[in-house]
Structure 1
Amino acid sequence: MKILRNILGFFLSLLLLSFITFSLARMAPGDPLVSYYGERAEKMSEQEKARSRERLGLNDSLMVQYGRWLEQAARGEFGLSFKYKRPARDVMSRRIMNTFLLGGLGFVLVFALSLGIGTFCALHEGSRFDRFMIRAGTISACIPEFWLCLLLILVFSVTLRWLPSGTAYSTGHEYDGMDRLVHLILPVLVLVISHVWYYAGIVRNEMIAELKKDYIVLCRANGFSTGQIVRKHALMNILPTYLSLMAVALPHITGGTYVVEMVFSYPGLGMLAYESARYHDYNLLMLTVLFSGALIMAANLGVNALAGRLDPKLDAEKVIRQSEGEWF
């Protein structure tokens, strides 16, 4: 019953997201004919523009247009991209892997490092390293991602000329793995710096609270080493909270990935969403927004289900409050 309720909620949320995006896109100022025809649109007469809008279905009412789009989407057809003159699905499919590579690598590094740093700080509470991490976390949380992108480009690309300043690969090196890796260094670094200290702080607090519980004292009395206590008991007990924290963090890191893509001109979904919104490419914008929303909602459902199996008593609201609160 709970699974059916989650599935129903998933599709209703997607439906609501699609209607909101559809409505806002068409209410935004601008002419989609410019996206479709380019500079030719400025030279077209009013009669030609009217015929073009009729052919593209832009003269119908909002609800008629939405109903037509919804019917096509139910069949897996998402219309033609005005800017690229190709099916929106084909355009997006060429960008998905770039975003998965950047966002996935950033996500894994953020949570691998936050778990290690947070646990180390908890075991050395009050040490110089712990105090340094608290200050570093506070500072990094106040730095806007776009500003950090520009700073790293200025230092490592313009001044030192060590790393490329944008795109996913050099011209002619699309299938060169090492070249792609070099282009990923700065974008991934921005994602890690922007998020790792915040989540490491939450892990630190959870671990400190766990290490002060009575059963830890009993383990120490029975001769267990600190490493054994952390690996076999403390980490396992905070794991459900950690998994739920990852679910809560997914929208934040995804949004950060899209910002990074725009600044670095990285050809992913974030750059595609920006271009489709800028050029009023309605069909492409709808597809990128819906895909992003579906990915985040599906990941949240999956991670929360896994966390619930590990610890049925897990209070999801507690995790959300912690993620929205102060770093320490």
Structure 2
Amino acid sequence: MSNTSRYIIRRAIQSLILLWLITIISFTLMRLAPGGPESFIEDPRVKEADKLALRASYGLDEPIPVQYIKWLAHVLQGDFGRSFLDQRPVMDKIAERLPATITLNLASVIIGMLGIPMGMYAAVHHGKWLDRALGVFNAFLNSAPHWWIGLLVLLFIAAPTRWFPLGGMFTIGKENDILDRLWHLILPATISGMGGWLVWPRYLRSSILEVIRLDYIRTAHAKGLAERVVLFRHAFRNSLIPVVPLFVGSIVGLISGSVIYENVFSWPGIGRMAVQATFQRDYPVVMALFVIGSTLAMFALLAIDVIYTFVDPRVKYN
């Protein structure tokens, strides 16, 4: 077994142990937090014994270590329990919201990838006015939170002009209208995808400028190769090495950013459900989303290590 394989296996084991510790801490905090299924009962005629029976139906009358072991056994089977709010299976509620989040994140990634040609152009035309203009634009994006930009766009552009809807995934009565769904998607996907305009041009520009100064690029020019061939076949391909793993990390950032953008634009996805469940103290839903998000983050970090070994053969893990 190679050093790289051993390193990846070791990292996978470390990730699983860390994820297990995260679940222990978060589960304990959830159980110690105020609230429970009985807190959703508003009928004053319900007796205290009935409330205790409801808690017992969720197993909340048992010691926390026992609750955790039973919870973990069910989670390993894909069962995150039932919601405190409406008694529905948590995974059914997540499955309803998942398509909306996937749609928003895919559109955000596509829009964010516009940062790749921006970075290429800035590197090729290094020092010229458009490169400086892109630098100013990048500095502006870096200085202002994107959710704040989204709020400004809603207040000063979308609301007065009605060019874009103020929120939601579709207009009521037009659930099957694809154009209407795209109209609702444009604004939140653009604001969310701005992260790609901030990160990818900066890293790609620096990487290309570093590569085009290397000896083999000078040799390619000396052989008489066309500028386009040198840039795209040699410089650009090698400059992607530090950017490709960054792409994976950006996707994880988009997923976590969904919590903010979905609430700003009233997008009915998992991020919005996470905030609603937190304020409603629907802890089974919060716990499920936290575990799923932590798992995705761990997987992404491991994937970055694996991707590095494929895109850059020079990387060797001891």
TM-score scaled by structure 2? 0.90
Relative to 1, partners in 2 of residues 1:315 and 1:23: Cα closer, same or farther, differing over 3 Å? farther
SS in 2 for 1:156: helix
Which string of whole-angstrom CA distances, capped at 9 and with x for unpartnered residues, describes residues 126-151 of structure 1? 11111111111111112123322211
2:65 aligned with 1:60, yes or no? Answer: no
Task: Tell me if structure 2 keeps the 8 A contact 1:25–1:282.
Answer: yes
> Measured at CA, do residues 236 and 158 of structure 1 come closer, stay the same or move farther in structure 2, by a change above 3 Å?
same
On the 8 A contact 2:266/2:272 being kept in 1, the answer is yes
What 5-or-longer segments of structure 1 have no aligned partner? 317-328
2:111 equivalent in structure 1: 109
Deviations 1:205-251 (A, max 9, x none): 11111111111111111112221111111122122211111123233
Post-superposition Cα deviations, 1:67-111, rounded to whole Å, max 9, x if no partner, equal 11111112222111122321111110111111111112212321x
1:23 aligns with 2:28: yes
Aligned counterpart, 2:160: 159
Alpha-carbon spacing, 1:82–1:130, altered in 2? closer, same or farther (3 Å):
same
The aligned amino acid for 1:59 is D
Give the alignment of 1:93-172 within 5 angstroms. Answer: 93-110=95-112, 112-172=113-173
Q: What is the match of residue 272 of structure 2?
A: 271
What is the SS of the residue equivalent to 2:114?
A: helix
Q: Give me the whole-angstrom Cα distance separating, in 2, the residues matched to 1:103 and 1:123.
A: 30
Could you tell which deviates more after superposition, 50-59 or 217-226?
50-59
Partner of 1:223: 224
Distance in 1 separating the partners of 2:34 and 2:252: 27
Cα separation, partners in 2 of 1:20 and 1:227, compared to 1, 3 Å: farther
CA distance in 1, matches of 2:316, 2:156: 44
Residue 205 and residue 149 in structure 1: after superposition, are their counterparts in 2 closer, same or farther (change >3 A)? same
Alignment of 1:1-328 (within 5 A): 1-2=5-6, 3-35=8-40, 37=41, 39-40=42-43, 44-110=46-112, 112-314=113-315
SS of equivalent to 1:241: coil
Residue pair 2:207, 2:239 contacting (<8 A) in 1 also: yes
Query: CA contact under 8 A between 1:78 and 1:283: conserved in structure 2?
Result: yes
- Tell me the CA shift for residue 268 of structure 1: 0.9
CA contact (8 A) 1:258 1:269 kept: yes
3-state DSSP class of the match of 1:157?
helix
In structure 2, what is the Cα distance between the partners aligned to 1:61 and 1:11?
A: 25
Counterparts of 2:85 and 2:72, CA distance in 1? 21
Structure 2 portions without partners, runs of 5+:
none
Letter of the structure 1 residue corresponding to residue 31 of structure 2 = R
Cα gap change, 1:181 to 1:236, in 2 (>3 Å): same
Corresponding letter in the other structure for 2:231: V
Change (3 A) 1:11 1:175: farther
Asked if structure 2 preserves the Cα contact closer than 8 Å seen for 1:251 and 1:296, the reply is yes
**Contact 1:207-1:238 within 8 A present in 2 as well:** yes
Question: Relative to structure 1, is the Cα distance of residues 212 and 55 closer, same or farther in structure 2, using a 3 angstrom cutoff?
Answer: same
Aligned residues of 2:12 and 2:302 also touching (Cα < 8 A): no
Aligned to 1:319: none
Quick one: distance in 2 between partners of 1:15 and 1:114?
A: 37
- 1:180-217 CA distance string (max 9 Å, x none): 11111111111123441232111111111111111111
- Opposite residue 39 of structure 2, the aligned amino acid is V
Root-mean-square deviation over aligned CA pairs: 2.2
Q: Give CA deviations for 1:157-196 in whole Å, capped at 9, x if unaligned.
A: 3111111111111223333222211111111111123441
* Alpha-carbon spacing, 1:245–1:162, altered in 2? closer, same or farther (3 Å): same
CA contact (8 A) 1:81 1:87 kept: yes
- Taking the aligned partners of 2:180 and 2:310, their CA distance within structure 1 comes to 41
Deviation at 1:289, TM superposition (A): 1.8
Question: Does the 8 Å CA contact 2:164/2:184 hold for their aligned counterparts?
Answer: yes
The separation in 2 between residues aligned to 1:43 and 1:315, in whole angstroms, is 68
Q: Secondary structure at the match of 1:240?
A: coil
8 Å contact from structure 2 (residues 252, 296) kept in 1: no
Give the AA of the match of 1:249.
S
| Alpha-carbon distance in 1 for matches of 2:19, 2:99 | 22
- Number of paired residues? 312
> Which sits farther off after the overlay, 1-10 or 166-175?
1-10
